[in-house]
Amino acid sequence: MSKYIAAIDQGTTSTRCILFNHQGKIVSVGQKEHEQIYPQPGWVEHNPEEIWKNTLEVIAIARIHVSATSSDIAAIGITNQRETTVAWNKRTGKPYHNALVWQDTRTTDLVAKYEKEGGLNQFRDITGLPVSTYFSGLKLQWLLENVSGLRADAEKGEALFGNMDTFLIWHLTGGVHGGIHVTDVTNASRTQLMNLRTLQWDQKMLDAYNIPAIMLPAIKSSSEIYGTVTNEVLPGVPVAGDLGDQHAALVGQTCFEPGMAKNTYGTGCFLVMNTGSEIKTSENGLLTTVAYQFGNNPVHYALEGSVAVTGALVQWVRDNLGLIKNSSDIEKLAKTVDDNGGAYFVPAFSGLYAPYWRNDARGVIAGLTRYVNKGHIARAVLEATAYQTLDVVNAMEQDSGIKLSSLRVDGGMVLNQLLMQFQSDILDTQVVSPAVAETTALGAAYAAGLAVGYWNNTDELRQNWAVAHTWSPEMPAVKRDELYRGWQKAVTKSYAWMD
C-alpha cells in the first residue's frame, strides 16, 4: 500500500499541501500565502495563476520533506475556499479576470435588483441560499457582463467557469491538453446555481442569473476518482477527493452523524451541522447546503452559519492599524486589560452574513469613551468572533431543535486561548479542539483515501479523532447576558450604512 494521502487546502489566505498517514497524522506540510488584491473598497480579488503556481510549489515542498515519490502517494484530495469565482479560456488556460473572492461585494447592486424583484429568499427553496454578494452565481454574472469578450467565448464553449477546486483539478489533470472540468456537490451547492434535490445545475437559476450552461463543470460526488495528475509534480496520482473547505472540516472532524457540528475559525467562521438525508430549511438565517457525498452513497445535507469576518479582523488590526506585528500578538494585547471596557467591534466589512444577511451593513466600533484603549479594542476584536458564533449557534439550535452539548472547533484562531475560553463562556458550552488541527486538509484526504480504498469506511476514520484540548464555561449567567445585550445593540448600529 502507498504510504500517504496528499491534500491540497486552497484557502483564502494561503495554499497548503499536507501529506497524511493512515492514522490521519500529518507527516509533511508545504504552505505559501498569496496576494490579497483590493482594487476598490469592498472588492477582493486573487490571481488564479499565482495560486496555481503556489499549488505546484507546496506539493513539491511537502513531497521533498519526506522524499516521497508518486508511488508513495495513493491519491490526492482538493479542498478550497468556496464561492471564489474564476473564468478562464479552455485553449490558452488564461483567466479572463482575477478571481472574485467570496468576500467581494461588487455585486451589491445586483443583489438589490433581485431583492426588489422577488425578495432575498426567492431562490431558497431551490438552492438553500439567500440572494447575496457571497455566492458564485452573481459573481459569474458580473464577470460575464463586465469582461469584454467573455460572454461570447462562454456561449461558444471556449470559456470555462470554476471555483478554485475546479480550476486546480483542470490544471492538475492536463489543463489545455485535456484537463478535466469537474466540481463536487459541496462546491456546486455554493454557486446558487445547483438544485439541492436533483444535485444538478438548475435551469431556472441559470435563466435567472443569465449563465450559459456550457461553461459549467460536471457535478460529481466528493469522493471518487475524477482523473489522474499529468503534471510532473505528482504524475499518475489519482485525483480522488473534492470538498469545499467547510464541508471538508466537517469530514475531518468526523461529524458523520446527524446533529454533529463543527466551527472553523479562519478568515471567517463557519459553523456546520450535519442534518443527514434531510434538507432542513432555515427559519433563522442559516444556509442549507450539501455536507458531503461519498461515491454512490446517499448525500448528506447540512445547516451552515457563515460569518464573513473573524480572523480577517485580526489581520486588519495588524495590517491596517499596525497595532500588532503578528496575528497571534492580539492575545497578548487583549490580556493587558480585564474586559472590553464597554467597546464592541462589529466587523461588517462585507455586510453581515448569517444570521442577519444585511448587505447594507458596514463595520462599526460602538461604546467608545475616553477610557477605551488599544487593549480594549483588541479584546473587542476577539470577542466579536465569539459573539458572531453565539448568534449562529442560537439560530442553529432553533432550526435544528438540537441543543449543542459541546462544539468541535478548528482553524487558525483556535490557537488563541483567550478567545477559546471566552467562546466557551459566552456559549455556556464546552469547546473541544481535536489532536489533528488541520481538519480541512484531513477531510479532503479522507475523501480521496476512501475513493481509492486507502481507508475502508467512516468507522475507520472515526477512530483517528482524538481530543487535544477542552475549554469549559466559567462565566456567571448575569455577566454573559449583559455582554451579549451589548453586542446585540452594537449590531443594530452597523445597519443601513449603504444606501
Ligand X SMILES: O=P(O)(O)OC[C@H](O)CO
Binding site for ligand ADP (CB under 6 A): 11-14, 266-267, 311-312, 314-315, 327-328, 330-331, 411-413, 415-416
Cα–Cα dist 212/191, whole Å? 14
Cα–Cα dist 419/415, whole Å? 9
Nearer of residues 112 and 415 to ligand ADP, judged by Cβ: 415
Cα–Cα dist 237/126, whole Å? 36
Query: Within 10 A of 183 (CB to CB), how many other CB atoms are there?
Result: 28
Nearer of residues 150 and 343 to ligand ADP, judged by Cβ: 343
Q: Pick the binder of ligand X from 162, 266, 285, 355 (CB under 6 A).
A: 266
Q: Looking at 163-171, 239-247, 314-322, 416-424, which segment touches ligand X (CB under 6 A)?
A: 239-247
Which residues, including other chains, have CB under 8 Å from residue 94's CB and lie 6 or more apart? 49, 88
Told to check if 246 binds ligand X by CB under 6 A, we report yes
**Which of ligand X, ligand ADP, none interacts with 413 (beta carbon under 5 to 8 A by kind)?**
ligand ADP
Cα–Cα dist 278/184, whole Å? 19
Told to check if 439 binds ligand X by CB under 6 A, we report no
Nearest-approach distance from CB 385 to ligand ADP, in angstroms: 8
**Which of ligand X, ligand ADP, none interacts with 416 (beta carbon under 5 to 8 A by kind)?**
ligand ADP
**Which of ligand ADP, ligand X, none interacts with 315 (beta carbon under 5 to 8 A by kind)?**
ligand ADP
SS3 328: coil
Cα–Cα dist 30/147, whole Å? 34
**Which of ligand X, ligand ADP, none interacts with 383 (beta carbon under 5 to 8 A by kind)?**
none
439 is in an annotated binding site: no
**Which of ligand X, ligand ADP, none interacts with 452 (beta carbon under 5 to 8 A by kind)?**
none
The size of the chain, in residues, is 499
Nearest-approach distance from CB 229 to ligand X, in angstroms: 23
Cα–Cα dist 390/396, whole Å? 10
**Which of ligand ADP, ligand X, none interacts with 389 (beta carbon under 5 to 8 A by kind)?**
none
Q: Please give the single-letter amino acid code of residue 192.
A: Q
Nearest-approach distance from CB 38 to ligand X, in angstroms: 16
Told to check if 137 binds ligand X by CB under 6 A, we report no
Nearer of residues 281 and 315 to ligand ADP, judged by Cβ: 315
Nearest to 70 by CA among 270, 189, 232: 232
**Which of ligand X, ligand ADP, none interacts with 331 (beta carbon under 5 to 8 A by kind)?**
ligand ADP
Cα–Cα dist 499/33, whole Å? 35
259 is in an annotated binding site: no
Nearest-approach distance from CB 129 to ligand X, in angstroms: 11
Place of cell 475616553: 370
Nearest to 427 by CA among 374, 375, 465, 383: 383
Q: HEC string of 208-272?
A: HHCCCHHHCCEEECCEEEEEECCCCCCCCCEEEEEEEHHHHHHHHCCCCCCCCEEEEECCCEEEE
Told to check if 104 binds ligand X by CB under 6 A, we report no
Residue closest to ligand ADP when measured from CB atoms: 412
Nearer of residues 227 and 266 to ligand ADP, judged by Cβ: 266
134 is in an annotated binding site: yes
Nearer of residues 299 and 409 to ligand ADP, judged by Cβ: 409
Secondary structure E strands in 81-199: 86-89, 99-100, 159-162, 182-184
Told to check if 15 binds ligand X by CB under 6 A, we report no
Q: Nearest 5°: CA angle at 92, between 88 and 97?
A: 30
267 is in an annotated binding site: yes
**Going residue by residue from 195 to 234, which x/- string records binding to ligand X, judged by CB under 6 A?**
----------------------------------------
SS3 23: coil
Told to check if 82 binds ligand X by CB under 6 A, we report yes
83 is in an annotated binding site: yes
Indicate the helix (H) or strand (E) that contains 406. strand 406-410
Told to check if 12 binds ligand X by CB under 6 A, we report yes
16 is in an annotated binding site: yes
Interstrand relation of 182-184 and 86-89 (parallel, antiparallel or unpaired): unpaired
Interstrand relation of 261-265 and 406-410 (parallel, antiparallel or unpaired): parallel
Cα–Cα dist 446/207, whole Å? 36
Which residues, including other chains, have CB under 8 Å from residue 405's CB and lie 6 or more apart? 429, 430
82 is in an annotated binding site: yes
Nearest-approach distance from CB 189 to ligand X, in angstroms: 11
Query: CA 448, 98, 194, 276: dihedral to nearest 10 degrees?
Result: 40
Rg (CA), the chain: 22
49 is in an annotated binding site: no
Q: Pick the binder of ligand X from 15, 54, 55, 81 (CB under 6 A).
A: 81
Told to check if 267 binds ligand X by CB under 6 A, we report yes
Site for ligand X in 274-313 (CB under 6 A): 306
List interacting residues with ligand X (CB under 6 A).
Answer: 11-12, 81-83, 102, 244-246, 266-268, 306
Binding residues for ADP: 12, 16, 267, 311, 412, 416
Binding residues for sn-glycerol 3-phosphate: 12, 82-83, 134, 245
Binding positions for ATP: 12-14, 267, 311, 315, 412
